[in-house]
Amino acid sequence: MISTLQPPRSLSHFRSNPTLLLRYASLKPLSSLSSQPVTHSTITDQSQSPNPPSHSQILSTRHSLLSRHLTATQLAESFLTRLRLTEPHLRSFLHVSDSVLAQARELDEKIQRNEELGPLAGVLVAIKDNICTAEMPSTAGSRVLEGYTPPYDATAVRKIKELGGIVVGKTNLDEFGMGSTTEASAYQVTANPWDISRVPGGSSGGSAAAVSARQCMVSLGSDTGGSVRQPASFCGVVGLKPTYGRVSRFGLMAYASSLDVIGCFGTSVADAGILLHAISGHDRLDATSSKREVPDFSAQFVSMNLLESKPLKGLRIGLIRETLDDGVDTGVTSAVRTAALHLEELGCCVTEVSLPSFSLGLPAYYILASSESSSNLSRYDGVRYGNQVAADELNSQYMDSRAKGFGSEVKRRILTGTYALSAGYYDAYYKRAQQVRTVIQKSFKTALDEHDILISPAAPSAAYKIGEKKNDPLAMYAVNVNLAGLPALVLPCGFVEGGPAGLPVGLQMIGAAFDEGKLLKVAHILSRHCRIADLFLH
């Protein structure tokens, strides 16, 4: 049972091991925060709450600042100290902001003047380095953009700043998001906080590792084919991929425009939901952003004490059969099936559901993503952006700049995509992949017409060793969600053997389009019921 799972070794052992200190060393200022349980009124009236929720760093931070238990400067200094101690081992960040303390002091001055605070006041946020920031370099993990600083903030970053959030820095990633281990970065390899000999997943491995190691409170990543959800599983944090169009893509460096979304990492479901709410909404600068009203996701985070014994009674859950077939580690399968049993205890009706087209997702994804990337990355030519190689003629300048600026994985995908789009092959590859995408979308719609939520493993295994599977393709059950444009949330659900302390496993929950609220509600109740936060997140 998840509720009785314990890490393989005691915390006293962890504290004697310098590697595990990356994961378990506590932040002293945060230890003084109240541990009272969350209530509905706590969420909806944050500024007046005397009892901050123990499972939300964002709301606890707000309470501590308003009650004067902590200053924003103390909080920022604590996280920066931890970042400096852990970063030589983890290498989560490509750039750390030099204005964090200045922003924190400005916030303290506002509090002294009794000025109104934004909902993210004092929250330290890390940003994946393919999301533009006006005051820091944005390289997408590529040499072709080395040293490049955009003249504007991405819409998601701008909203975070407007709501009082403090951007800590830019996190490492696979170059332009092309990879699933963060080993394809042009600058460094990020390590997993649970075991620094293992990968954190990718491509948002830096953002996931930073949250897992408490180098920041929450972070932004991007998800084109599982790049938020797989690293969330590997690093034992919550990862949330919103519906395509829920969050503006303005300022997100395009990899595959019809698949890319900005997603959220947090140490709790509540924090991921609060961050998603902050960055969601229509943006006139992004024609693909939805005009749908953004609901108040915080209304889903109700205390278990206020719920009946079967709070999810009548909810229909579909366990995707094809994601538990050969190739999935037995420990992962066991953890997911145990999570399904807990959902039944909460009142859900869990049945297996078959999606026969599931196996078609991975090849279709690679054709579509590579094709779109070959078009999107044509702008990096050494003239308009980034580094330029000196040459006597224009074509040589283009070729040399791209040859020296792009890494091997990016070159492979550009070549694959260019081939798939070329005359004589377009119908056989790109057009057919689009047809497969339609089949996958219809199969998900059929399944979600009969079920409220679909569940599966987030990845077929726990985190593997650095260098072990560098060139392996992404798991098919991650990419299918992007092909269908659906929201998905990954929640830690168990441990498997490996590393000095065991390795986390993530449960993926998939919902209907723009139904993030239901995913957040179910994940929040499941995590509180099983006390997952006590095992993974504190």
Based on its alpha-carbon atoms, the radius of gyration of the chain, rounded to whole angstroms, reads 22
Q: Say what the pLDDT of residue 309 is.
A: 84
- 475 is in which domain, residue-wise? 91-311+452-536
Position 529 scores a pLDDT of: 84
Asked which of 123-127, 318-322, 354-358 is least confident by mean pLDDT, the reply is 354-358
Q: Residue 118 pLDDT more than 70?
A: yes
Domain-embedded: residue 205? yes
The rounded distance, in Å, linking the Cα atoms of 191 and 89 is: 7
pLDDT at 398: 87
pLDDT digits (tens, 9 = 90+) for 169-204: 999 999 999 999 999 999 999 999 999 999 999 999
Average pLDDT of the residues in 201-224: 97
The CATH number covering residue 275 comes to 3.90.1300.10
- Catalytic residue selected from 64, 78, 128, 222: 128
Residue 438 vs residue 395, higher pLDDT: 438
> Do 208 and 231 meet the contact criterion of CB atoms below 8 Å apart?
yes
- 191 assigned to some structural domain: yes
Look at residue 353 and tell me if it is in a domain: no
pLDDT at 214 over 90: yes
- Strands 503-510, 261-266: pairing is unpaired
Would you say residue 290 lies in a domain?
Answer: yes
Give the span between the Cα atoms of 420 and 418, in whole angstroms.
Answer: 5
Q: Give the pLDDT band (50/70/90) at residue 208.
A: very high
- 390 pLDDT band (50/70/90 cuts)? confident
Instruction: Calculate the average pLDDT of the chain.
Output: 88
Asked whether residue 85 is assigned to any structural domain, the reply reads no
Residue 507, domain member (yes or no):
yes
Give catalytic status of residue 227 as yes or no: yes
pLDDT for position 392 = 85
For the segment 85-101, the average pLDDT, to the nearest whole number, is: 98
Residue 54 or residue 294, greater confidence: 294
3-state helix, strand, coil in the chain (%, to 5): 45, 15, 45
At 31, the pLDDT band (50, 70, 90 cuts) reads: very low
By percentage, how much of the chain surpasses pLDDT 70? 87
pLDDT band of 507, cuts 50, 70, 90? very high
Please tell me the least confidently modeled range out of 225-229, 413-417, 529-533. 529-533
pLDDT of 33 higher than 70: no
Residue 533 pLDDT:
54
Of 203, 280, 289, 290, which residue is the catalytic one? 203
- Residue 535 predicted with pLDDT over 60: no
Among 95-104, 129-138, 291-300, 468-477, where is mean pLDDT lowest? 468-477
Q: Which two tokens stand for residue 515?
A: 């139904």
- Dihedrals phi, psi of 351, to nearest 5 degrees: -135, 155
**What pLDDT shows up at residue 477?**
60
The answer for 198, left when phi > 0, alpha when psi is -120 to 50, beta otherwise, is beta
Which percentage of the chain shows pLDDT scores above 90? 78
Helix (H) or strand (E) holding 210: helix 205-212
128 belongs to the catalytic site: yes
pLDDT at 387 (0 to 100): 83
Would you say residue 444 lies in a domain?
A: no
Contact between 193 and 200 under an 8 Å Cβ cutoff? The reply is yes
Residue 17 has what pLDDT? 43
Place of tokens 């080993």: 183
pLDDT at 16: 34
Q: Residue 304 — very low, low, confident or very high, per pLDDT cuts 50/70/90? A: confident
291 falls in which pLDDT band (50, 70, 90)? Answer: very high
What DSSP assignment string belongs to 126-138? EEETTB--TTS--
**Number of domains into which the chain is organized:** 1
Residue found by looking up tokens 């893509």 in the block: 249
Q: Which of 138, 185, 204, 227 is catalytic?
A: 227
Q: Determine the average pLDDT of the residues in 295-317.
A: 87
Interval 55-73 mean pLDDT:
94
Q: Indicate whether 183 belongs to any domain.
A: yes
Sign (positive/negative) of CA torsion 87, 92, 94, 98?
A: negative
